[in-house]
Structure 1
Amino acid sequence: MNTYQLWKRMEQNKEHSCSQQWQKFSDNPVQIVEAYAALPEEHRASYDVMFNRTATLPFALDALRKWHGPMATGAMLRAACGPLLKSGLLASVRTTWGERLFFIPKDVYECLLAFQLDRMDLENVHQSKGTKSGDEWLYSLQPLDGSNVISVESSKGMLRDLFQLLVYALNEGLPLTAKGVLHKRAISRLDSLLCLHGQAFAGWNVKIPFAESMPIHVAIVLDTALRLGLLRKDATSYTVENDQLKRWLNLPSQEALRTIAEVVIEHYLPNEALIRHVAYAVLHFGRMGKWSSEEIVGHACRDLGWLAIGNVTFDTVRQQIKEWLRTSHALGLCDVGEADDCWMFRTVYQEEDAEQRVLFVQPDFEIMVPPHASFLIRFELEVFAQLWNSDQMDTYRLTRESFENGLEHGRSVQSVLSFLESCSLTGVPDQVRDAIEMWGRQYGRIQFSEVVLLRCADSDTAQAVQSAMESSEVLRNWLVPISSEDYIVDRDHVDEVESQLIRFELPPLKRWGGEERRRMPKLWQDGNHGQVAEEADLKGPVYSPSSLQYYEMDTGLLVQDAEEASYNDISGQWTKALRSYHTSTKRDMVMAAIRHQTQLEVEEAGRSQVIVPLTSTSSDDLGWAITAYVLPCLSSDMPVQLSPEKWDRVRLIVPEGLL
């Protein structure tokens, strides 16, 4: 979940400090970095550990003990949770069984990842791959190995497949079987329509129910449409959500691709932090059409300590990077190619064309559509023209049959001609205009119309309705008398008529329900489109490893959840200043530090240092010894063995807020 989604889920408590922070972060991402920079050093160090260990994955308090180390002790991590929640950089939910889970909001993670990557010095990695830029790489790279990869340029990808799925759903429907599975005929048609190939997800072990009947690429496209709120699952079919469809088709391509990438990372990749780091790092380095190498991502993973956390080799992470690049290429997110055993990539970037005159209407009734044409224009074409060929440019063909289909979906001669005139760069040829006008005269000039019968209980009521009609223009327009006590009403205007009757104190007892919505909605120049809704809280046909959206928000005090709230075994004197202690007391302090995962400040021969004790051992040969990290050190450094008997003075360091 991102901060906008978190803020929306707090609509009943908008005055809460977390809600206000999330709204600020959503409106102005710069404030995310500012909030991070404002953290006290120990809280920032703790947050970095959580960030590196989890990416956007949820974690419980128990996990903090496992992350105890030189970068942040377990006590520091526990002490930081409360302030981090208050800052909005961390969020939490409560599971159905009562466990509290913490996570970093998605956009907070992306913003801080970009902040870290931008500060890294990786220029030498770029230079090692040469000095080519822009399309020079495009023509010197080779396509990736694989039977389904034919070009360095990204495939038409998920954007096109979602569009094809929605058009098919509106034209043909997506009926379900008694088991709630898509009908075999629909699956077969989608299998041939969609470009995405299942091999793009072969390395991620994606799980789907009824895998024997539904190809994985069909399941993923369908699942993505559901998670984006473009489809709704009813008892007997999947139904297109027209309002959300309008908003989606109006999205800039970059924003739509980014949204798709987030859904794929969240729901179709394994629950492993390193894989998520890799996926988001690739999106960052390839941004704005700049070519980058897989090596730069690998070096970033190593330099940020992600390999050491999971004991992963550089070769292993390179393989994961390549796996994600292959997936990204298939999704249409990245151009990817190979040169000298190194993969190069760049994020797909399309200039948004504000000019809507992009079509080429040919005298032979073919309509040429360039790649940069918006999906909103393509959608209207799908209503009255037939997609004939799809290559560098898409070709639609206008036929009598396709035009009649447009009339069935509520279009008219005037609306089709108006659309073509508005969007055609070359105008509408006379023979095309004449054909459309002729087809309009030959078909659709008459139609059956369903109306609603308004029946009065008696003649007095009929007289009251007649009197109301004299005072109401709406009633005069839409109430047609057919007998002394009966009227008919156009179904599309029942609500208006009912409202007027209520106004004249003539509320109807009941009325016939509304007609099923027209399958192909009018989206072209159809009002404002607003903001795309948050990811739908529903289950699609793919088993998702992410379940945060199903849990209840929890913004309560952390103290209620603290499993180790008692520090009664620690004397207040131990934490105040360096002091000399008897060996037995010194041992108690060391054991308390190990038990509570805190730091110790020790002084030996006039030199003080801070350590993180891990274990304590005693033997006749070596005496009393402990294993500890000596700070400062790197996360990759090994602990050393120390002799507490040599310490002159000791102090236990307990983070503020725990005692």
Structure 2
Amino acid sequence: MNVEQSVARLPDAMKRLIASDPAVQALLERGKDLAEALSDPEWATAWLDGCLDVAPLSVLRSVLYKYGANPFEIERIAADAEEEFGLTGAEARVAVAKLRRSGVVFAVRKSWGDRLFYIPVDAVALWQPLLLPANNRALTSEEAWEVAQNGGGYRPPLSLALLSAWHRVAKQPVLRTAKGAPQQAATARVAAALQLEQAAMEQLLAAYPHVAQLPSQAAFAFDVGLVCGVLTETNGAIRICEEGLDEWLLLPLCEAERRLQTLVMTRYCASRPALHLTFSATLALEAGGWSTVDRVGEGQGEAEERLALLEALGCIERGTWRGQTAIRRRAEPGSLPGAAEGYFILQPDGEVLVPPDVGMRARWKLSDIAELEKADELYVYRLTQRSCEDACRLGYSLDKALLALEEGSGAPVPQPVRDALRDWFASLGRTELVEALVLRADSKAVADAIAADEGLAGLIVERIGERHFLVDAGEGKQIRAKLRAAGYPAVDVVRTERGAPGEARHGGEQAAGGNKGWLSVGTALSAFEADKGLPGADELFPGLADIPAAWITRPRKYHPSTSKELIRRAIDWQTTVRLERDGGARIFAPRTMRESGALWVAEGRWRPADGSVPSGGRTEPAAVRAEEIAELMIVLPDLEELETD
């Protein structure tokens, strides 16, 4: 789930608690709502600057690195925090509670009571540059000349690649077969139009419906189109949603590209923290400049494979500089500051040159009436008789085609082109194929009776033989009723590949825009109830109210049996104890106890005398015998920040 969805599910009391933080309050007073405030880099920076407790920072960094936006359990993160940073389990539990108190981490509760914690999927990119910055160095302009750029040819930006694939769906909606799979010929055309490498798509996508019949490129195009609202699935066919398409085509190319890159990062990369962090770190780079890459996302392995995927998606370019990997983030198409959308160039011979700054609406209309000859930095189309036939099928007349060309080119249509279009359109629209139902009687006598029936006569388009009639396919239900009333109930023998009307789409967790896609992705956190509030002290430390207050307030000398109970309690709570030994006070984190009759030995690790987290992580193992302890008390992490009253 993203920040907006997570905040919406919070109880009002938790919202008020998070909103009371000064860093959040400052943004709320400027008109932002709570979700917007918790998505703002200004808030994240202010929170980090004001966080003086090393435990929440250490836990957040560990969660980000190991889990990304995937859910985690408190026991697992407590074990990780001890191993990596020398934190106790108590410090890790309290740290997670403090992160929830600040709106950094959220929690859901399973039906059996256990909690799952998570960082919202779109917040990973908020925290990554602050806590796990990429270790790269920008090359100077002189050094950049030495970069040997990888080959592989032109890779279209996601916005243009998907526009081509979706236009293929506009020309021919993709029907389902009787078994529910999309028709292979149609999906193959969509996959080819996408122009993205199959290997990259297979690396990006997890399992999806009908994987044996459906190319990964087509699955990607369908899923993104459904999530963005450009495509819809009705009556067993994937087709264009006209309203959604109109909204999408209004976006500037650079905005569409940014939205798609963010969608890919949060929808397809979130289940793999290393890929998610790499994507986030790469998108944070300034476009256009080369930089070396030693590690992205805190030095995680297999970085080259992840960078190759981003290159295949058109997000970056790769090369080599003095033996090191170099990358350059590609600028979003049409992203020159303040620049208006450009025009395509219509040549007198019918060739159309499309510079990078031409907007999506003009490109879409041009694809309606012209054939794509070359996709490169400069797209090349050509007007042909065949392309005019396709345009006619899409509802274009000669006048409508001329208007689209004039609007897209910003100039009158050259006379040779106008003459050619007039000739080509002159023969179009004279014939048409229409869908109809055939009503067949088993004898001429029955057919004559049907023809004479007043109720059926108005529904028959044409009698085409002794026993056959063409009837309006849209009136099938009424025709069946009339035939039944006439004493000749119809038996359907029509075979259809359209699937059942209203057939449900495949999909996983609902995307941020409210639309389900083709793929089942996400962790289904929304299936669980949002946790109602922060844990209290007695939940963090079960039985706290049952022990003497002195055990946690001041060091005292106890009988060995009582000291043993204190140590056992500290072990159960995974916290530290303060003890006096050899004339000095020490902080000890007990983990286990060995007993031999009345004697016992606690095993664990020493902590710095001030109780702080060890700067180098875990300290060496240690053991303390009962007879060595002079005074003793249990030390709990500071809970003041969690107070809600």
Distance across 2 between alignment mates of 1:168 and 1:191: 9
Correspondent of 1:150 among 152, 159, 168: 152
Distance across 1 between alignment mates of 2:584 and 2:252: 61
- SS of equivalent residue, structure 1 residue 288: coil
- SS of equivalent residue, structure 2 residue 554: coil
- SS of equivalent residue, structure 1 residue 345: strand
- SS of equivalent residue, structure 2 residue 239: strand
Letter matched to residue 614 of structure 1: R
Distance across 2 between alignment mates of 1:573 and 1:377: 77
Q: Does 1:345 align with 2:327?
A: yes
Please say if residues 3 and 25 of structure 1, whose CA atoms lie closer than 8 Å, have aligned partners that are also in contact: no
- The aligned counterpart of 1:294 is 293
Compute the TM-score of the two structures, normalised by the length of structure 2.
0.72
Distance across 2 between alignment mates of 1:617 and 1:327: 53
Distance across 1 between alignment mates of 2:632 and 2:585: 9
Distance across 2 between alignment mates of 1:18 and 1:445: 68
- SS of equivalent residue, structure 1 residue 112: helix
Q: Does 1:551 align with 2:534?
A: no
Q: Does 1:583 align with 2:560?
A: yes
- The aligned counterpart of 2:46 is 34
Distance across 2 between alignment mates of 1:11 and 1:159: 38
- SS of equivalent residue, structure 1 residue 192: helix
Q: Note the 1:171-320 alignment, pairs <5 A.
A: 171-200=171-200, 206-269=206-269, 271-284=271-284, 286-297=285-296, 301=298, 317-319=300-302
Per-residue displacement from partner, 1:195-235 (whole Å, max 9, x unpaired)? 22232256578323433222333323333333333323334
Query: Equivalent pairs: percent with the same residue?
Result: 24
- The aligned counterpart of 2:379 is 394
Please say if residues 204 and 268 of structure 2, whose CA atoms lie closer than 8 Å, have aligned partners that are also in contact: yes
Structure 1, 75-84 or 7-16: larger mean CA deviation:
7-16
Structure 1, 169-178 or 221-230: larger mean CA deviation:
221-230
- The aligned counterpart of 2:591 is 614
Q: Deviation of residue 331 (structure 1)? A: 0.8
Letter matched to residue 589 of structure 2: V
Distance across 1 between alignment mates of 2:555 and 2:523: 47
Distance across 2 between alignment mates of 1:419 and 1:18: 52
Q: Does 1:369 align with 2:354?
A: yes
- SS of equivalent residue, structure 1 residue 595: helix
Distance across 1 between alignment mates of 2:570 and 2:252: 54
Letter matched to residue 534 of structure 1: A
Please say if residues 174 and 186 of structure 2, whose CA atoms lie closer than 8 Å, have aligned partners that are also in contact: yes
- SS of equivalent residue, structure 1 residue 50: helix
Per-residue displacement from partner, 1:210-268 (whole Å, max 9, x unpaired)? 33222333323333333333323334111323333333334444544444344444454
- SS of equivalent residue, structure 1 residue 295: strand
Distance across 2 between alignment mates of 1:11 and 1:38: 25
Structure 1, 370-379 or 597-606: larger mean CA deviation:
597-606
Please say if residues 93 and 551 of structure 1, whose CA atoms lie closer than 8 Å, have aligned partners that are also in contact: no
- SS of equivalent residue, structure 2 residue 298: helix
Correspondent of 1:66 among 79, 84, 105: 79
Please say if residues 121 and 270 of structure 2, whose CA atoms lie closer than 8 Å, have aligned partners that are also in contact: no
Distance across 1 between alignment mates of 2:175 and 2:112: 35
- The aligned counterpart of 2:364 is 379
Per-residue displacement from partner, 1:12-60 (whole Å, max 9, x unpaired)? 9998666986433267442233344445625445444433442211123
Please say if residues 559 and 565 of structure 1, whose CA atoms lie closer than 8 Å, have aligned partners that are also in contact: no
Q: Deviation of residue 363 (structure 1)? A: 0.3
- The aligned counterpart of 2:516 is 538
- The aligned counterpart of 1:355 is 340
Letter matched to residue 175 of structure 1: L
- Number of corresponding residues: 542
- SS of equivalent residue, structure 2 residue 124: helix
- The aligned counterpart of 1:601 is 578
Q: Relative to structure 1, is the Cα distance of residues 607 and 274 closer, same or farther in structure 2, using a 3 angstrom cutoff?
A: farther
Letter matched to residue 122 of structure 2: D
Per-residue displacement from partner, 1:125-144 (whole Å, max 9, x unpaired)? 638xx64568635xx3242x
Distance across 1 between alignment mates of 2:173 and 2:77: 49
Per-residue displacement from partner, 1:498-526 (whole Å, max 9, x unpaired)? xxxxxxxxxxxxxxxxxxxxxxxxxxxxx
Distance across 1 between alignment mates of 2:539 and 2:563: 27
Letter matched to residue 293 of structure 1: T
Per-residue displacement from partner, 1:525-580 (whole Å, max 9, x unpaired)? xxxxxxxx834453524x535333x4255151244995864435643212112333
Distance across 2 between alignment mates of 1:551 and 1:343: 42
Please say if residues 369 and 383 of structure 2, whose CA atoms lie closer than 8 Å, have aligned partners that are also in contact: yes
Per-residue displacement from partner, 1:72-102 (whole Å, max 9, x unpaired)? 4322333344443343222234557765432
- SS of equivalent residue, structure 1 residue 336: strand
Distance across 2 between alignment mates of 1:13 and 1:439: 69
Correspondent of 2:624 among 643, 655, 659: 643
Please say if residues 383 and 405 of structure 1, whose CA atoms lie closer than 8 Å, have aligned partners that are also in contact: yes
Q: Deviation of residue 332 (structure 1)? A: 0.9
Distance across 2 between alignment mates of 1:394 and 1:420: 16
Per-residue displacement from partner, 1:455-486 (whole Å, max 9, x unpaired)? xxxxxxxxxxxxxxxxxxxxxxxxxxxxxxxx
Q: Note the 1:59-208 alignment, pairs <5 A.
A: 59-69=72-82, 70=85, 72-94=87-109, 99-117=114-132, 126=137, 131-132=140-141, 136=145, 140-143=147-150, 150-151=152-153, 155-156=155-156, 158-200=158-200, 206-208=206-208
Structure 1: runs of 5+ lacking an equivalent:
144-148, 303-316, 450-532
Structure 1, 262-271 or 85-94: larger mean CA deviation:
262-271
Q: Deviation of residue 398 (structure 1)? A: 1.9
Please say if residues 222 and 517 of structure 2, whose CA atoms lie closer than 8 Å, have aligned partners that are also in contact: no
Q: Note the 1:40-55 alignment, pairs <5 A.
A: 41=53, 42-55=55-68
Distance across 2 between alignment mates of 1:342 and 1:318: 15
Distance across 2 between alignment mates of 1:395 and 1:11: 55
Distance across 2 between alignment mates of 1:13 and 1:242: 42
Q: Deviation of residue 325 (structure 1)? A: 0.5
Please say if residues 579 and 588 of structure 2, whose CA atoms lie closer than 8 Å, have aligned partners that are also in contact: yes
Q: Relative to structure 1, is the Cα distance of residues 189 and 51 closer, same or farther in structure 2, using a 3 angstrom cutoff?
A: closer
Distance across 2 between alignment mates of 1:251 and 1:134: 36
Please say if residues 316 and 330 of structure 2, whose CA atoms lie closer than 8 Å, have aligned partners that are also in contact: yes
Q: Relative to structure 1, is the Cα distance of residues 607 and 98 closer, same or farther in structure 2, using a 3 angstrom cutoff?
A: closer
Please say if residues 169 and 190 of structure 2, whose CA atoms lie closer than 8 Å, have aligned partners that are also in contact: no
Please say if residues 223 and 518 of structure 2, whose CA atoms lie closer than 8 Å, have aligned partners that are also in contact: yes
Please say if residues 630 and 640 of structure 1, whose CA atoms lie closer than 8 Å, have aligned partners that are also in contact: no
Structure 2: runs of 5+ lacking an equivalent:
20-27, 435-510
Q: Relative to structure 1, is the Cα distance of residues 604 and 411 closer, same or farther in structure 2, using a 3 angstrom cutoff?
A: farther
Q: Relative to structure 1, is the Cα distance of residues 134 and 229 closer, same or farther in structure 2, using a 3 angstrom cutoff?
A: farther
Q: Relative to structure 1, is the Cα distance of residues 556 and 72 closer, same or farther in structure 2, using a 3 angstrom cutoff?
A: same
- SS of equivalent residue, structure 2 residue 577: strand
Please say if residues 363 and 431 of structure 1, whose CA atoms lie closer than 8 Å, have aligned partners that are also in contact: yes
Structure 1, 32-41 or 330-339: larger mean CA deviation:
32-41
Q: Relative to structure 1, is the Cα distance of residues 448 and 30 closer, same or farther in structure 2, using a 3 angstrom cutoff?
A: same
Structure 1, 210-219 or 437-446: larger mean CA deviation:
437-446
Q: Deviation of residue 361 (structure 1)? A: 0.6
Distance across 2 between alignment mates of 1:221 and 1:134: 38
Compute the TM-score of the two structures, normalised by the length of structure 1.
0.70
Distance across 2 between alignment mates of 1:348 and 1:604: 63
Distance across 1 between alignment mates of 2:16 and 2:579: 43
Please say if residues 38 and 103 of structure 2, whose CA atoms lie closer than 8 Å, have aligned partners that are also in contact: no
